[in-house]
Structures are given as C-alpha cells and as structure tokens.
Structure 1
C-alpha cells in the first residue's frame, strides 16, 4: 500500500531520502512529541490555510502534503466537516511523489486564492490515477522552488517518513506529530473538537 519514491527535484538536501504516501496504520501509533521551540518553524512555513478563521478558530493543525498523495486527499476529505466546526488547517505543500508534483505544489503556493485552488485539486482528485486535479506549472519559479525546498528541509528535519504528516497540539498543550492518515475515530481527540459525522463512502474503511 505504500509507494516509496525518491525526493528528486524538490531539494538537494533530501535527494537520497525514500519517502512515501502513507496509509492509515492497522493500529494507530502513539504520537511523537515535539519541543515547543519547533513551533516557530512550522507555524511560519509556506502553506495554504484553509478552514475556520479569526475568532471562529477552535483548533489548528499543520499537514505536510503532496498534491498527488491519495492519503493526503483522504485526509483532506476527512477534515472538511471539522473545518466547518472550527478547525483551521495549514497545508504545507511539497512535491516528490510524481514528476508533476512540484509543479502542482508550486501552483498552490503561487495562486492568488490558494484555498480555492486546493479545493479544486481535491474535489477533482483522480483516485484511480492518484493524481491531484489541477494543472502543474510548466516551470517552477525560483521563489516557489525556494519555498518548496524549505518545506522539504523542515519535513526531513522532523524525521517524517511520508505524507500526510500531521502536527497538532494535544489537550495538555504539547505539540505532537503523526505520520499517515489517522483513524477517523481518533480525529476528535487529535483535533480537540467534538466528533463530526463523516459520510463520504471513500472513507468508510478508515473508521
């Protein structure tokens, strides 16, 4: 179920790292706790911010994603009801799974309306082809490449193995991270929000 590919054009730092698009584990692994000092890095990482805003934000998480990662797509779908209930998500794009991943990630970062383009990417996602539903930029601008390189460097510095990689604050105020799509039943505890109904049939196997 895991697809291990090389992180090539995204950053020279991680050209030898085998990364993957991670499925939900049979048994949910325990979170990895992070030092409070780490927050300054991921809180300011180039991202597409989606969901609740302003005084409506009740919970915030950070998700490293690849535009062609099917389990990132499933995570996006699973989080939509929680966004309506007060969740804000910072989607931190990288581009390593497919040749056009970097072009799609750059398009998200360059977009005048990043959340709208992310919505298009996910609502038009091809599960059969495992491909995000937007056109990649033909050439990644230098500024966008620098942002993607920085995100990839940050990702590897945290020791993540693949996407989605989720960073969240626990109920006792500590920062923690998880690799892969969480079980749907674990989301209320991770997000510190009441359980929301998830009716998407594509997600039934992740309960």
Structure 2
C-alpha cells in the first residue's frame, strides 16, 4: 500500500517554461536529493512561510500556489469536498512566479484585511483563458508583503523547482512528502488519505 502511495506521489511534476506551466511526467526528486530529504528541509523551514489558512480539519497540507496558475486552481476545485467535511486544513502559500500579474495578485491576497476572503475572490472568479486569477493586483507592494512573498518563493525553491502547485505534508507514517504538480482528482483524493 505504501509503495502505491509513493508511486502516486511521484506521479506528476509541473514544469515551468517561459510564462507557461505545463504538466509533465517526472519524478519528485530534486537533482541531487531524495524526495524525503527535500520534503524534510521544506517542512523544517515552513514556519517562515506566510499562508492563508483554510479549514480546521485535523490533517494539515501546505500548498504553494500562484494566483494565475490553472493547475493550482484545479487543486482548489478538487479540495472543496475536504473543506466541506472539515477533514483537512489547507495552508495556501502564495508565490508570484508564472505571469507578470502573479506577484501583484499574490501580494493582494497576503496584504488583504481578510486574506481568506481575498483568496476566495481569486479562486471563485478564476478565468481559465487570459487573466487567470480573479483578484486585482495590489497597486503598491509593501516591504513586509514583498519579504513574505520572497520567503515563500525561497521555500518553494528548496523543492528544486519553481513549480506550482507544490504540496507538502507529513504522511501518516511520519515521513515528510513533497509533490510537485497537480495530480488528477482521484489521485489527489488517494494522496490526501495519507496525510497525518
């Protein structure tokens, strides 16, 4: 069973090409590191991240996302049932790496009076064609917000890529797990079943 889980975790990675995120089969291994080592490093520094908390379930998953990323949006869509059942706590970690509007939209989410409401604005009004996320860019990015986004991006780079979405969690066997890319809904459901 655990072998199936790890095959599922290694299923897909999102590669970033100039301005375009495309899914591609690959392993979740950084160039010189085992995925568990990468995941442990990321979890060790995760307290430095700034995230938007959604849900109050007993199981925690960190999700690095770009406000303009259609694959990140699909993860959002595929996690609605988990939120409705109070089964998970998702900690959405914004980064601005895909488009010219991504940093401003990520800043708008983090700097909002109610970041969760801003996050929902982005996701519920997401445009799959041009434009991506449904929130307007922040007109001015305060230093505090810029530092938070820079820290989020540096934590994401520990995975070996600037790939979004990237999921990070501790599995029920105690191991740290990092998944780059957007697994299909049925695979995501299987993966989330292993979260501690």
TM-score for the superposition, normalised by structure 1: 0.75
Match for residue 76 of structure 1?
76
Match for residue 165 of structure 1?
166
Alpha-carbon contact 1:67-1:104 (below 8 Å) kept: yes
Match for residue 52 of structure 2?
48
Count of residue pairs the alignment pairs up: 175
User: Which ranges in structure 1 are unaligned for 5 or more consecutive residues?
Assistant: 7-19, 194-207
Alpha-carbon contact 1:47-1:92 (below 8 Å) kept: yes
Match for residue 126 of structure 2?
125
Match for residue 58 of structure 1?
58
**CA shift for structure 1 position 44:** 3.8
**CA shift for structure 1 position 142:** 1.0
Alpha-carbon contact 2:42-2:159 (below 8 Å) kept: no
Alpha-carbon contact 1:69-1:130 (below 8 Å) kept: no
Alpha-carbon contact 2:65-2:165 (below 8 Å) kept: yes
**CA shift for structure 1 position 138:** 1.3
1:68-107 alignment runs, 5 A limit: 68-85=68-85, 86-107=87-108
Match for residue 7 of structure 2?
none
Aligned partner of residue 62 in structure 1, secondary structure: strand
Alpha-carbon contact 2:41-2:158 (below 8 Å) kept: no
Aligned partner of residue 171 in structure 1, secondary structure: coil
Match for residue 115 of structure 1?
116
Match for residue 3 of structure 2?
none
**CA shift for structure 1 position 84:** 1.9
User: Which ranges in structure 2 are unaligned for 5 or more consecutive residues?
Assistant: 1-13, 30-34
**CA shift for structure 1 position 132:** 0.3
Moved over 3 A (4+): 28-31, 34-38
Aligned partner of residue 63 in structure 1, secondary structure: strand
Q: Do the aligned partners of residues 3 and 88 (structure 1) sit closer, same or farther apart at CA in structure 2, a change above 3 Å counting?
A: same
TM-score for the superposition, normalised by structure 2: 0.79
